[in-house]
Amino acid sequence: MDSISVHQIAQRIGGEVRGNGDLLVDGAAAFDKAGPSSITFVGDEKHLRLLKDCRAGACFLPHAYSEAPTVLAASIPALVFVDDAMDAFLAILREFRPQRPRPNVGISPAAHIDPTAVIGPDCNIYAGAIIGPGVTIGSRCDIHAGVCLGQDCRIGDDCILYPYVVMYPDVVLEPRVIVHASAVLGADGFGFRFRNGRFEKIPQLGSVHIHSDCEVGASTTIDRGMIGPTVIGEGTKLDNLIMIGHNCELGRHNAFASQVGLAGSVTTGDYVRCAGQVGIADHLHLGEGSVLGARAGVHRNVPAGETHIGTPARPEQEQIRTVMSLSKVPEMRKKMQKLEAQVLELQRQVQELLESRAAPEAA
């Protein structure tokens, strides 16, 4: 899209302009990167406080901020007030940077497809993909180069598997699942018994079932269950480099950041969120709407709606009080050393007093 005036932008997204509506905008940019010909957005109090330092030519803001002192003092030439600033920004960003159309490559002759595989209409199967026996692929799926689909995998409509995704046998993806590069779905769970001085492998005879509208990040691994499936609930989003152990069952619309690790048989309710590097011990349950802060080490169940942080993870306010107390330890140590010296001095004085009283009696 070429340059467009702020007035035209406001008309497209139903916004209210304050300032120079004739200003021409040629791009959309992040708050701290925007220049005089760019439009950006303010979606929270943090960025609102920084508005006076923003160099953007135009800015989307929520109607709720229209009379805020920071807004009134802003030097940005054009402000556009809308119901949802991020939605408005993303709508305009898509116009300045339209997504590439879905290619139409069809089924490459360089893909290796077993004769028993069933592939739905309008699929793209790229060169080097390996489709095993009994695989079923729905309509409008994109299977990129190097993808390997094991025997009897089932993939729903409108799924995208990026390069080098590996799906072991019997993995199921429901419609509209996105799996990013080098993810591994359905590898054996880490199940062993220690007998007679050695580890014996426990057969992992379950599968993986990923429900609709999920997204699995690059190099994430989801192990198959030992008996039943490892389950990822509808709408759940997994970042890159996440490990989901065997027999885990995640609820709907969970969101896990990078390097989260779940041991076997962890279950979660709906709308659970885990920040980066959270580690969760086996057979625990994370209640609906619970939140785990970055690097939390979870060793017990987390009740619904609670936020836990730290290692070992504890309720947020409790952990904050503990950390605040620990920060005072050096000062407390100095006070203890001073008190110890005072006690020793008092003991010395008492001993001298006792000895001085005992002397005349002895005489």
> How many angstroms separate the CA atoms of 277 and 286, rounded?
16
> How many angstroms separate the CA atoms of 208 and 224, rounded?
5
Residues with a known catalytic role: 246
For residue 163, what are the contacts with CB-CB under 8 A and spacing of at least 6?
126, 144, 145, 146, 147, 181, 182
| Position 54, amino acid | C
Answer for the pair 210, 174: CB distance below 8 angstroms, yes or no: yes
Quick one: three-class SS letters along the chain? CCCEEHHHHHHHHCCEEEECCCCEECEECCCCCCCCCEEEECCCHHHHHCHHHCCCCEEEEEHHHCCCHHHHCCCCCEEEEECCHHHHHHHHHHHHCCCCCCCCCCECCCCEECCCCEECCCCEECCCCEECCCCEECCCCEECCCCEECCCCEECCCCEECCCCEECCCCEECCCCEECCCCEECCCCCCEEEECCEEEECCCCCEEEECCCCEECCCCEECCCCCCEEEECCCCEECCCCEECCCCEECCCCEECCCCEECCCCEECCCCEECCCCEECCCCEECCCCEECCCCEECCCECCCCEEECCCCEEHHHHHHHHHHHHCHHHHHHHHHHHHHHHHHHHHHHHHHHHHHHHHHHC
Q: State the CB neighbour count (10 A cutoff) for residue 231.
A: 22
Show the tokens assigned to 175: 């419609």
